Amino acid sequence: MERLLVIGASGLLGSKILERGSNKYEVYGTYSKNAGGGLTQLDVTDRKKVFELVDSIKPNLVIDSHGLNNVDYAELHHEEMWATNVEGSKNVAEASQGIGAKYAFISSDYVFSGNKSLYTEKDAPDPVNYLGKGKWALESILDILDIDYIVARTSGLYGIGSSTGKKSFIQFIKENLQKGVKTDVISDQYSSPTLVDDVADSLFALSELNQKGIFNIVGSDCITKYDFAKYICNEFNLDSRLISPCNTASLSQAAKRPKMVKMSTDKLKKITLKVPVGVKEGLHIINR
């Protein structure tokens, strides 16, 4: 049986990848600060430790889902973000290359400014925040080093996964509304909420088909957080009258966000025949 190593396996996406990969791979996973059962602690900025771990496991596929992904925190802590997201991922990528493993990196729609109506994998990145710049930097490094890689550009991940780490948007809305708390939700920033199951399954399919390069892996709906909150209300029978729209100008966000990033998944669908689900179907899947 082939071996899978998931870097950042205690997070929402990483734990889902580990779960869905367990029926086809011998699975291994790491965590940084938020521990999970059966996982190995790893600081990706410690290059020696990264190489030692990868060499000891000798995985066929390494999926790197770790990262400092709070966009406002990253904007205020450039050095920490760069060390973790760029140098840390470079360590994992080069260790994977050293043993001949395929390396998959989780990137973001934040590599784009939102100044175009629809983005494909061929469009040149033009990020407006530091987190996006870090993602783009690592994508460029992978290409320069000629690593056997897959880059998954994704957006607004949601689903059922690890309980460690920060509270998800779905949890935030459910808990507030169940307590009767009136909640303002952003209504002028558009993105594509993406079910973590889709990302995991797409990465496995692309790896099995020996694909290389950049792929947009996002949900089929491009909506605002306010729209998403209304879908959550419908799925979980919550009072939508408790949510109110607000705009970007009313918030004190350290990082600039694109107003709208809509990404084509035609390349993914053509190669894997997989169609990412929309929000309504995705929420129904996790509420089964």
Give me the CATH number covering residue 106. Answer: 3.40.50.720
How many CB atoms sit inside 10 A of residue 270's CB?
8
pLDDT in tens, 183-206: 999 999 999 999 999 999 999 999
Does some domain include residue 226?
no
Q: How many domains does the structure of the chain reveal?
A: 1
pLDDT in tens, 20-41: 999 999 999 999 886 667 899 9
Does some domain include residue 168?
no
Residue percentage of the chain with pLDDT more than 70: 97
Of 207, 201, 162, residue with least CA distance to 59? 207
174 near 211, Cβ under 8 Å? no
Residue 60 structural domain: 3-161+193-220+265-276
pLDDT in tens, 105-118: 999 999 999 999 99
Does some domain include residue 143?
yes
Computed over every residue of the chain, the mean pLDDT equals 95
